[in-house]
Structure 1
Amino acid sequence: MNLRASLRSKLIIGFLAVTVPLFILLMYNNLYAMDVVRAQVGQSNKNLLAMYMNEIDRTLEDTESYVYNFVVQNSDLSVYGKAKTGSADYFFSKVRLQNKMMSDIIRYPNVNMFFVYSRSDRELLSTSFRGGDFAKMESVSKALKNFISEQNDSTLSEKKWKVLQRGGELAMVRLIKTDNDQLVGVWMDVDKLMIPLNYLNLGDQGQALFVSNQGKPLTKTTIRELQAPSYTLSLPAATELYRTLRTIQEKKYLIVATASRKASIHLAVLVPESTLLQQLPYFQRLLYVIPLIGMVVLAIYLLLLQRTLLKPMYYLIKGMRRIKRGELETRLAGASSKEFMIINDTFNDMVAQIHDLKIDVYEEHIRTQKAELKHLQVQINPHFLLNAINIIYNLAELNKTDLIKKMSKHITKYFRFVTRTNLNAVSVSKELEHIESYLEIQQLRFPNYLRYEISLDTELANEAIPPLIIQPFVENAVIHGFVMGKEPFVIQVMVIRPTQLDAPYYEVHIADNGVGMGHEQLEELQRNDLNADFEDGHLGIWNVRHRLKLQYGTASELTFEQRVPKGTLVIMRIPRSKTYVIEGGQSSHVQDIASR
């Protein structure tokens, strides 16, 4: 059955045709709302980051201006660079420089240290490190010297703040080269620049961080993926408001970033999408619940249809199919709805009427078949009677009274068998005895020109056979195949088993050495057409074929063959019966009756 054509499929498709577009519309509305919120959050955070970055850049710019002014306006810097180490000028200029930086650092709360570095003798003159002890001062000094040693004239000429990473800490360093091979600079911890960002409302898992231009996180982060040394973030371009980040734990973050004008860094924030969704209206978040509700409604809808419509229709269709297969005892039970109760009662009444009508038609068919079989069986009697009377007439013309007596005896025996029309079957042996009586009659007429041979397998003697089923072929052989000549006309009747010992049938062979039949006549007989017109000469053959069809259906078979060098062979294949026919309470049979 085509599932698409079923009522169940059409109802489901109709329901989905209504609900699926609604779900799609709701999903589109929710996704659109989420995109709007992302854009708004991205724009808001981008503006906020731009404000913070401008403040940071302004701090860096002010600090950088101080360093430039310090280089240009402080004459002690030139004396310190040119004076001989250990001289009074060297000592006093050094003290004045250090005091100057110590007094000026108070005005720059984000600066940790001002310094002057002599590249010739690798001497570092600096303020104390704000926010650290002596040990940290030593560590910072060592890191700073190493960092400066890695710089060359090309990098020193860049007017940019440089990022210095020391362990897990991050610092911003600005170096300005003087004419005396000195570097005047400032050290600023990034942690101080991050303090205002800690007050941003980014959710429980949101965070702000500095990122290099290549996307490498520079400040500490709690996201595991970002802690890997080789990890890089995909920062949004200048024309983009945000980009998204999906972690291994399937958490999504919104990345918003802005670049610094004074350093090769970006200020970025990671905003969890869960925080964004909290800003959506409540009904939009119901999108995740609506499909579940729809599935529940669909299940209830299908269950109701199953009970009230589909299940009764299924039983009705099932009952119709059983009726189609001939199971007329099928009845439908009551239904829950009034309409189907009426349909089921009407169906049961119709099936009962069909059942009674089929029984009546079947019984009438059986009676008709029996009447037709009796009629066909009796139909042979006048056909042979005319031939027998003709034979007696010929004998009377020859004044052969002895033969007439013998003929009358065989005719009496013959018609005693023929008039037993109440029998549907006789034993093979009785049928062959009847054929012998007929051939005796014919032999009395042509004693020197006709011979016959009858043989029977002893195991087939009691097998059932329709009465008078062999005689038409023997009779046709005598009438149409017999021509008086130099050699006698021989008729052979044999009842044999086929070569397959377990075959469910036996064969009757009627053979003669007469004139045979033409090719067209043989084809006509082989057509096995019960509805075709027949001539008088084929009446007996049509009779036999019709009787075999009525009694055995397609299980029987009748074929005709042309014998070599001449003559005709008729083969009847008759199904073996499960019970044997026993005449008079005893089994009688004929075996190898002597040729005459």
Structure 2
Amino acid sequence: MRFRRFGPQFQSLRVKLFATILLFMLPLIGLLIYYNHYSTQVVRNQVAQSNQNLLSMYMDQIDRNLQQVDNYLYNLSERNMDLLLLEFPSSYNETQYTLAKLRLYTEISNGISYYPSLDALFMYSAVNDDLIVAHTGEGSYGDRLLTREEIEKMIEGAPGELDYAHWNVWQGDNGYSLFHLVRTGNVYVGSWVHIRKLMTPLDLMDFGESGAALLVTEAYEPMSHADWVMQEGIDLRFEPGTYSITGNDTSYMLMGEDSGRGKFHLIAMLPESEILERLPYLGRVSSFVTIGACVFLLLFLFIMRKVFLLPIQHMVAAMRKVRDGQLQSQLERTPRSLEFQVMYETFNRMVSEIHDLKINVYEEKLNHQRAELKHLQLQINPHFFLNSLNIIYNLATIKDFALIQEMTRCLVAYFRFMFRSNSYVVSLKDELAHTRNYLRIQELRFPGHLTYSIEAEESLLDCSIPPLVIQTIVENSIKHAVSMDALLEVHIRAFADESAEPAMLHIQIQDSGPGYPEEVLMQLAADEETVSEDGDQVGIWNVKRRLQLLYPEKAAIAFYNESGKGATVKIRLPMDKKEG
């Protein structure tokens, strides 16, 4: 189908689709009209049986819901001991009586949530003339107030021969309702439901434009549609399992079903004019409809392939290339529909923008990583600085100027190294010198309680490593292992593994302290963040994060305890990293 000879508006995909469907649907619509004209009769027994089954199903559903409520009422009246307090005057013990009412109200408020088909659960103490009512969450405050008033009227006007084994019908100012009472001495436990709730599922049944389903009392009085029933002259009496024809001007097929739980019936009325059909041509018309539908389907698929499927297939193929990372893919074929032309142009422009955006995002990510590295390198423990100043103060008190000079020189060298934030890596020689300087400061802090050794091959001193990696691990060891009761030994060793490809630099830091707790080792092995709210283990997290940023998938750090030697940390990173 071609639309080139017409204006641009006829190139629209919507116009093509509408014209195609209209072209093939008009004959089928005419055929269906012919089918509906002659299909006006149906076998009355089949319709009656079908609707009788529906009535039985809905009545069984209503009875099951009512049975569940009955079971709840019986169980509540038998097991709840608070009901005993309602059998005596409240003046005996007003506090216990009030608490019992609150517990009972909570019980039925929670219980009614399991029975959405109800309107209310209630308890009535005849001795105290006290009514407790719990409503569902549905309806307005006015509806709940009307329900309570109806319950109060029912309690006042209920006859003495009330049936406590079944659901009873109550006609009030708000229409008909069903209620069931379970009596325990002078206390009544009951449930209440308006018939409009029971009729909600029946509203989904199709009884025709003038048909209806309704509940009737035991005396066949309608609980709803009373004016309509009287106007149509419908006799609501029925025989179970059969149907009857009733009505004045309009004939109705009437069927009914008895309730096994209450004194009411369920009745359905279908207009006879809407359920009759003519069957002689039904088979022939059905064949024509089937054949026409098959032909329509084949033609529709052919046109759909030309107009829809091929352009979509081209777009899907281009999207797959983009998914595979080929951001240079472009849709070159021009479809005939205006919508697909716009989609092709938008797709090509979007792919180009994604390509440019990906480059910009990658550059932004690199800048972010550079900024994060600088931030990590500038993290300083303020406690160390304050403790060092405190040591200088104490040395000044005893006028040990030689140690003050050495301590000051060490601190100057320490902070000069710390503020080398313009470099992501330093030489192993500078890092070891900084660590030795740090250990000397700690040795002055803890005289006689700390000793250390540093070993490194001369050929490795020019290798590049991230700054503060060794010093941070040593600082963590001193923080958690040094004590005034024993001498702490710290050993640092750097060696190379030339057999690996590429060659790797190994750094081992070991102390003679108690080692890492088992839970910390498990967290470190699982690569979980071990930083607490007080900042503990932030140095270890700092080292691990910087190694991930600088040596993705190439560097490694391991934490473990050696028997009799304390905590051990091994760092492995490539040797070919250049300083700067």
TM-score bracket, normalised by the shorter chain, equals 0.3 to 0.5
Give TM-score, length-normalised by structure 1: 0.42
TM-score, L = length of structure 2: 0.43
